[in-house]
């Protein structure tokens, strides 16, 4: 269960990071509210996962999922350019996350 919560928390990390970017320094209400809610969910899930998973592994997985999801979303919406190298490196992050999970 901790792994599932950790994965979902990583996705919520991407949500709060994206909302933070769209909040324009917390001057836009809706993205600012999304940021706060997603941050609470993401950190709460990470804290829950840390009850049973090692902090180094859990944090690396959480950050990896969040970073890869944030970039993938930005590329999917056209906010960031897509290139073959970016895709390769994102797949590398995902591969590392899978590797860390498989070693646990």
- Residues 2-51 have pLDDT tens digits of 999 999 999 999 999 999 999 999 999 999 999 999 999 999 999 999 99
Which residue do the tokens 């970017």 mark? Answer: 21
Of 15, 104, 19, the residue nearest 54 (C-alpha): 104
Output the six-digit token pair for 58: 């859990």
- What's the confidence (pLDDT) of residue 94? 93
> What is the average per-residue pLDDT within 56-62?
94
> What does the pLDDT read at residue 77?
96
pLDDT at residue 101 greater than cutoff 90: no
Please answer whether residues 13 and 62 qualify as being in contact, where contact means their C-beta atoms are separated by less than 8 angstroms. yes
């Amino acid at each position: 269960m901790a792994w599932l919560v950790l994965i979902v928390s990583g996705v919520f990390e991407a949500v709060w990071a994206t909302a933070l970017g769209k909040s324009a320094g917390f001057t836009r209400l809706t993205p600012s509210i999304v940021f706060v809610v997603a941050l609470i969910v993401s950190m709460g899930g990470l804290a829950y996962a840390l009850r049973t998973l090692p902090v180094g592994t859990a944090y690396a997985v959480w950050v990896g999922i969040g970073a890869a999801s944030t970039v993938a979303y930005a590329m999917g919406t056209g906010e960031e350019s897509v290139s073959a190298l970016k895709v390769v490196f994102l797949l590398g992050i995902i591969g590392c996350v899978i590797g860390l999970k498989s070693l646990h």
